[in-house]
Structure 1
Amino acid sequence: HIDEKLMTKERMISGREKLHDFKNKINKCLVELKLLTAVDQVENSCNNLMDNVIDEIEYILCHLQVFITKEESTYDLLNKSRDLVKRLEDHLSKFKKFSDCVLRDDKSAKDIYEQNWEKLEKLESELDDAHTRMQNNLENIVQRSQQDEYVHDLSSDSQEGTSHRYDDSTSQSISELEELKGIVTSKDKLIHQKDEIIKIQKESIYMTQEEMRNLQRKLEEKINTHLEEKKHLLKESKLQIETIEHLRKAVVDGKKNSDRLSSQKSVSDVVWTSITPAVFNNGDVHDI
């Protein structure tokens, strides 16, 4: 599209140069009309120049129309791109809401885990107290057995059975406690991994948001620049079309005057009032 744009501008510049050459030739013909006595030769030369000017004006108008059509197509494409960016922003907003919901759920799970951990610590404390009480009871039994040998024999059997029962109960409690500790440790590792995953997701979301904002800002700048450029080009095109219309009118008037000269067959009666140096020195013609 940029190459086509440059080619169009080059054609417009070439057309401007041709119009400038035509202007010089027409001025030369005006001088010759005042000097030559053979009107027919000058008339044919002027007619040819006027036909060339009209053809060149039509050629420039055609290229201007093509250029304006391409600019309108580009403007539509930029509007579609802007709509696409807006849809991407909507999807990103939904994704952010979903991530916030996941973070809230993870926070709730972490609170439940902390409550369970407190309960486990309380249970461990109760088990330690029970074990201490069992040890105290065993020591009391041993002291009473030393006071009476007979009772010692009887109490020895009872003490041995009680010790076995307490030892079995204590071993079972310790095994259950170790199992609970293992479960808690596994849950702790799992929650730590989830925290790391959530942290990575947050960083990824933040980076994506930054990239989207940068992309949107660049696209907005590009769209605004293109709109300003299009506005300027449309304004220039309008001025050029008006200038070309003035030239067309001036050429037609000049042709009519030339026909009038041909009918009168007199150089002294030549009147060329429509084409003036002010028309051809107009700044708009220079900008074509």
Structure 2
Amino acid sequence: MFANYLIGLREGLEASLVVVILIAYLVKTDRRHLLPRIWAGIGVAIGISLGFGALLTWGPKRLTFEAQEALGGTLSIIAVGFVTWMVFWMAGHARSMSFELRGKVDRAADASWISLVVMAALAVGREGLETALFLWAATQATTDATGSTAKPLVGALLGILTAVAMGYAFYKGVLTINLSKFFSWTGAILIVIAGGVLAYGVHDLQEARILPGLGNKAFDISGTLDPNSWFGTLLKGIFNFQPDPTVLQVAVWLLYVVPTMTVFLLRVRTRDPKPAAQPVPAERH
């Protein structure tokens, strides 16, 4: 549940910051008449993201077991690719995100009325689609023994609601945080979570008989650590830990997490230490 909460918080905060910057900039530059276009684009983005999530959840139900596992494993690997790109992108662009978005608003506002709707839909929709895909993959990886996704989804929803509240507090000027540090810490944690999702995806592909080695276990401590105990549930929820992983799962986890984390931490340490750009607060009237 914590892992999904963090995903919802991190991804939701990115989307919230985009919305805050767009709205605050239009208010500050006395272009309130353009706000309905921004809200229209945001509505389109939310609708597409929800539809994509629904398609991922219920679309594969009629497929065979092998096909479901193949699709789940493939999408999990794609989700890890997206979240890895997002983590590194935010590490380098958190400071300039506000400036870039304001430039896009100016260009879209000078074009046709639909341009601003499309710009807002693309800016928010990218975050929404990434969130839907990675949350789906992480939820599949952390479902309990009964197959229930209730707790992971509740965790994700709480994270998104927290992000929305933080975005509103940013807009009102009652909350300020160091965005560079926030995205650095959460980025490092997400790399570990993504490693678990990647291992889960590999296991799915092994069950679909696309990858070999399903019966070749790296270790098996299921007799010592009950995966349904509170500690086992905690480890699975945060790290997608399983007591009997295959050799290929362990190898893939190590080959992803170790070099990715090393490069990410080196990039964070060597970048310019200037604070991240904060959202533009709206003028008070």
Whether the TM-score (by the shorter chain) exceeds 0.5 is no
Q: TM-score, normalised to structure 2's length?
A: 0.24
Query: Which is richer in helix?
Result: 1
